[in-house]
Amino acid sequence: MTKRVISVLGATGAQGGGVVRALLKQDDWQVRAVTRNAGSKAALKLAELGCDVAEADLNAPATLFEALQGSYGLFAVTNFWDRATRMGEFEQGRNLVRAAKEADIEHFIWSTLPDYQALSGGKCTVPHFTSKARVDNEVKTAGFRHHTFVEAPFYFQNFLTIHAPRKTPDGRELWRYPADKDKCRFPCGDINELGKIVAAALNQPEKSGDGQHLALASDYVYWQDLVDILNAQGHRLEYERVSAEVYDSFFSSAKEFRNMMSFWEENHYFGPRGDEKIALANALVAEGFTRFEDWASLHMRPS
């Protein structure tokens, strides 16, 4: 039987990488990894694992059609934070939708997030959420046979990188945020496992392919819950609430992150139907997802 081709944007990255690995575990799909550089170490590794590799650049719309041609499905993610991004995330997404339509993609899966700007009545400006949400309508109205929205939580992997606790000279660890640790609540998950949701959506388009939103959240926690879990595993972690002014001095996009956390103090991370989005993903992925406690015991051992 000829396998149907699924093209995966961002295949060398966190979200797309998880999608590639989940699809390779199944016999039904031929995975086409889309990258800007087929000769990169990460792309060569994907070829070794059995992917076809195609080159395309979201900043060069003309390259997209050729890379997608002949695919049944597409997992589409954009990287708001990529320094090489010359085009806005909305423009990238819109171009991708057009190229996918031209290439006759049957199932379009868009990695999106809610529009915090609109949901907060303009109070919380968080462009990396809003610019993804603005693409949703392009996806909805393009006329794909199936389309599905997937939503990523706060990655566990952030705790190893940009949100790793800071070591203090006396051996403690510190998280310093402007949010109230008992009020700021958010979903988190192992981002590799977004792939399980995408694979389930492709396998069950009758349950997911009519514009359903599927959200990954193995845990929905307050900062204090995370501190308690890690301290029970031997960490000496403390949470210090800092002022907006202090936090904004930490890094260049701090204000955007502060707005995001302030949204989480009052609202569901995934928006008004957030619990429904999580429940739908959980219903489609029978094996479930790795809990923070288990992930941390493997990846965040106290030093």
Ligand X SMILES: NC(=O)c1ccc[n+]([C@@H]2O[C@H](COP(=O)([O-])OP(=O)(O)OC[C@H]3O[C@@H](n4cnc5c(N)ncnc54)[C@H](OP(=O)(O)O)[C@@H]3O)[C@@H](O)[C@H]2O)c1
| Contact footprint for ligand X (CB under 6 A) | 9-16, 35-37, 40, 57-59, 77-82, 85, 113, 128, 152, 154-155, 158
Nearer to ligand X, 23 or 58 (CB): 58
Q: Please count the other Cβ atoms lying within 10 Å of the Cβ belonging to residue 87.
A: 16
Q: Between residues 160 and 283, which has the closer beta carbon with respect to ligand X?
A: 160
Residue 160: CB minimum distance to ligand X, A = 11
Residue nearest to ligand X (CB): 13
Query: Would you tell me how many other CB atoms lie within 10 Å of the CB of residue 212?
Result: 19
Beta carbons of 193 and 295 less than 8 angstroms apart: no
By C-beta, is 7 or 30 nearer to ligand X? 7
Which lies closer to ligand X via its Cβ, residue 57 or residue 173? Answer: 57
Q: How far is the CB of 48 from ligand X (least distance, A)?
A: 15
Minimal distance, residue 227 CB to ligand X, in Å: 18
Cβ closer to ligand X: 77 or 200? 77
Q: Where are the beta strands (DSSP E) in the chain?
A: 4-8, 29-35, 52-55, 73-76, 107-112, 146-151, 154-155, 166-167, 173-177, 185-189, 210-215, 219-222, 237-241
**Residue in the block written with tokens 């800071």:** 166
Least Å from the CB of residue 288 to ligand X: 20
CB 129 within 8 A of CB 260: yes
N-terminal to C-terminal alpha carbon distance within the chain: 51
Shortest gap between Cβ of 41 and ligand X (angstroms)? 10
